[in-house]
């Protein structure tokens, strides 16, 4: 879970950086293209080109959905919503993760399904407490755009987690860092196609904007998505779902402290505690179940 916490802190700056320096100033499709290509460049030197075709194609598909398609929705949302509103509408990601996990794993037992949904619901409640203020007039369109991003991000996380666990079961020997470049290649295909079809000649006009794109691409995307997906394979689906909403208080706090935007600190504290409680409850249950299984096997 340490990896997820570290990347949460790293990504907390992304919302405000996009909202302040890029949204409405740089073509969103160009921003997506630049960010994804930079992330690809980071992992291309590590890529094992003799990766089995099935593994390469699967990772490319996951990257196309989790990163490529998600970014297309995500960057458009900043043209319709404020940074706090984008953060608010991501509260449903844990629910999607819980449902998609049960679907992909074909585990629809009542107990597990209810548990995953319950932990996700606690995280959603915590995020809702933080920001449920007056919303802009176009918030419904923005809401559905963010949900598209949420669904893509949730699907990719669960699919990567399931695929890597399956690969370990099959005895795969390639290290994740040697194959993760395929993930970004898949995302790049989507980004290039979207830019060629929908992009406009609205490019960065300042060194700050180029620096923001460099940071978001090489660090937040390149390093961030690799470590986040790696962390996703080390925790339970319920904990992964809850950790997705930890971005909300972190992102709002950065927005408040650095860019002086309004945020309700009592709500931030209460909501953050609820999200932390969801993660703690999930981890407690996992340890309790592991101890029970080990005790039964002895």
Residue 18: what pLDDT? 92
- The residues near 176 (Cβ < 8 Å, ≥ 6 apart) are 164, 226, 229, 230
- Per-residue pLDDT, 249: 80
pLDDT tens by residue, 144-158: 899 899 999 999 999
pTM (predicted TM-score): 0.81
How buried is 110 (Cβ within 10 angstroms: 0-12 exposed, 13-18 middle, 19+ buried)? exposed
The whole-angstrom distance between residue 58's C-alpha and the CA centroid of its chain comes to: 18
pLDDT beneath 50, residues of the chain: 293
């Amino acid at each position: 879970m340490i990896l997820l916490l570290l990347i949460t802190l790293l990504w907390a700056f992304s919302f405000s950086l996009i909202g302040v320096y890029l949204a409405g100033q740089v073509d969103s499709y160009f921003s997506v293209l630049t960010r994804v290509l930079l992330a690809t460049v980071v992992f291309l030197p590590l890529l094992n080109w003799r990766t089995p075709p099935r593994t390469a194609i699967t990772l490319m598909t996951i990257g196309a959905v989790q990163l490529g398609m998600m970014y297309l929705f995500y960057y458009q949302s900043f043209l319709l919503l404020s940074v706090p509103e984008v953060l608010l509408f991501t509260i449903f990601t844990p629910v999607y993760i819980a449902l998609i996990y049960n679907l992909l794993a074909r585990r629809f037992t009542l107990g597990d399904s209810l548990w995953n949904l319950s932990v996700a619901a606690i995280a959603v409640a915590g995020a809702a407490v933080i920001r449920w203020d007056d919303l802009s007039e176009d918030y419904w369109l923005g809401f559905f755009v963010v949900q598209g991003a949420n669904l893509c991000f949730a699907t990719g996380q669960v699919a990567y987690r399931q695929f890597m666990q399956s690969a370990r079961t099959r005895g795969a020997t390639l290290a994740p860092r040697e194959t993760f470049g395929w993930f970004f290649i898949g995302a790049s295909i989507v980004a290039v196609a979207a830019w060629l079809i929908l992009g406009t000649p609205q490019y960065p006009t300042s060194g700050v904007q180029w620096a923001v794109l460099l940071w978001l691409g090489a660090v937040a995307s390149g390093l961030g998505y690799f470590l986040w997906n790696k962390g996703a394979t080390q925790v339970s689906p319920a904990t992964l779902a809850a950790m997705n909403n930890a971005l909300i208080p972190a992102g709002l706090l950065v927005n408040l402290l650095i860019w002086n935007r309004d945020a309700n600190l009592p709500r931030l504290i209460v909501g953050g505690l609820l999200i932390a409680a969801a993660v703690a409850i999930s981890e407690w249950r996992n340890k309790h179940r592991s101890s029970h299984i080990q005790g039964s096997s002895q």
